[in-house]
């Protein structure tokens, strides 16, 4: 699990230099109440650049107000990200709230499909847990970032989720408070959890990262428990080869596809049974 923050122009331009995190999601723009529709976050470039330098994991979100058709919103979002040269480098998030909710899931689905077509990879949908459930947003086929604050306005110091309960269990990310406080900044922050590692996060950024730090052999055939590797047939994978991560893991094992074959690779220092299987 990764710990992160999401920020906007409500925070200092250098906020992503001030606190610790594993990832940061930055507001790109949209149509917040009281602003013109062409509003963009003037601090977006600095905030997201600082986040990438510090952690290698960052995202940009677009606040959908829902007053225009979904294609216009999507076009504007992707165009602004392209201006920063960040397509394929950051997670794209569609912030679905306010009047946009009245437009419904079909409107949202069209917007996300347009973003995916223009950017070349899927955006993540941000919404409250109740909206995710009532509008069945999980069936749209996009990763979900769920916002629910089970501790309400209680102040939370550090990345402490004790007493917090996730509303939507299939979410890839969770915003669990808007009253978070981190060392280095006196103001409150939104705190988030990402359910995966750095590689999982980068896969949602369209960067198609290489699988690194793994053994150079993978288990050829699937089995129920990747820890029971003895007796499994292995296939050698060239050092530095690009593997397609299939999104499943068990402990230090990751399911991958390479050269038409799917199997498992081991991350980190192999245990004795893994070493024995590799030697065989």
Q: What is the pLDDT of residues 11-46, one digit of tens each?
A: 999 999 999 999 999 999 986 555 666 689 999 999
Q: What is the pLDDT of residue 248?
A: 76
What mean pLDDT comes out for the span 143-170? 94
Say which residue the tokens 């799917």 belong to: 262
**pLDDT of 73-118, one tens digit each?**
999 999 999 999 999 999 999 999 988 999 999 999 999 999 999 9
**pLDDT of 241-279, one tens digit each?**
667 777 777 767 777 776 666 677 766 555 555 555 444
Q: What is the pLDDT of residue 99?
A: 86
Mean pLDDT, all residues of the chain: 83
Long-range CB contacts for residues 201-204, cutoff 8 Å, separation at least 24: 201/2, 201/23, 201/57, 201/91, 202/56, 202/57, 203/245, 203/247, 204/91, 204/121, 204/122, 204/124, 204/143, 204/172
Q: What is the pLDDT of residue 240?
A: 60
CATH of domain 2-203: 3.20.20.80
Model confidence at 57: pLDDT above 80:
yes
Distance of alpha carbon 135 from alpha carbon 132, whole angstroms? 6
Q: What is the pLDDT of residue 206?
A: 86
Q: Are 60 and 49 in contact (CB under 8 A)?
A: no
Q: What is the pLDDT of residue 23?
A: 98
Q: What is the pLDDT of residue 278?
A: 46
Q: What is the pLDDT of residue 33?
A: 57
- Residue boundaries of the structural domains of the chain: 2-203, 217-279
């Amino acid at each position: 699990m990764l710990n992160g923050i999401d920020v906007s122009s409500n925070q200092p331009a250098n906020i992503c230099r001030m606190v610790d995190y594993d990832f940061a999601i930055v507001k790109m723009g949209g149509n917040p109440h009281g602003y013109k529709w062409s509003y963009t976050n003037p601090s977006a470039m600095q905030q997201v650049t600082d986040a990438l330098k510090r952690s290698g994991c960052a995202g940009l979100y677009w606040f959908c107000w829902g007053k225009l058709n979904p294609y216009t919103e999507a076009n504007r979002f992707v165009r602004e990200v392209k201006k920063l040269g960040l397509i394929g480098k950051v997670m794209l998030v569609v912030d679905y709230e306010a009047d946009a909710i009245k437009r419904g899931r079909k409107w949202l689905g069209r917007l996300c499909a347009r973003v995916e077509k223009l950017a070349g990879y899927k955006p993540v949908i941000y919404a409250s847990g109740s909206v995710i459930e009532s509008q069945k947003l999980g069936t749209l086929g996009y990763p979900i970032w769920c916002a629910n604050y089970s501790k309400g306005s209680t102040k939370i110091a550090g990345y402490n989720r004790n007493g917090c309960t996730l509303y939507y269990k299939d979410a890839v990310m969770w915003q669990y408070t808007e009253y978070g406080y981190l060392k280095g900044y006196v103001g409150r922050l939104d705190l988030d959890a990402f359910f995966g590692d750095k590689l999982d996060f980068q896969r949602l950024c369209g960067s198609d990262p290489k699988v690194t730090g793994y053994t150079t052999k993978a288990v050829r055939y699937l089995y129920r428990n990747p820890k029971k590797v003895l007796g499994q047939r292995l296939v050698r994978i060239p050092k530095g080869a690009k593997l397609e991560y299939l999104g499943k893991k068990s402990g230090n094992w990751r399911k991958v596809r390479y050269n038409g074959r799917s199997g498992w690779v081991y991350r980190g220092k192999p245990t004795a049974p893994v070493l024995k299987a590799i030697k065989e």
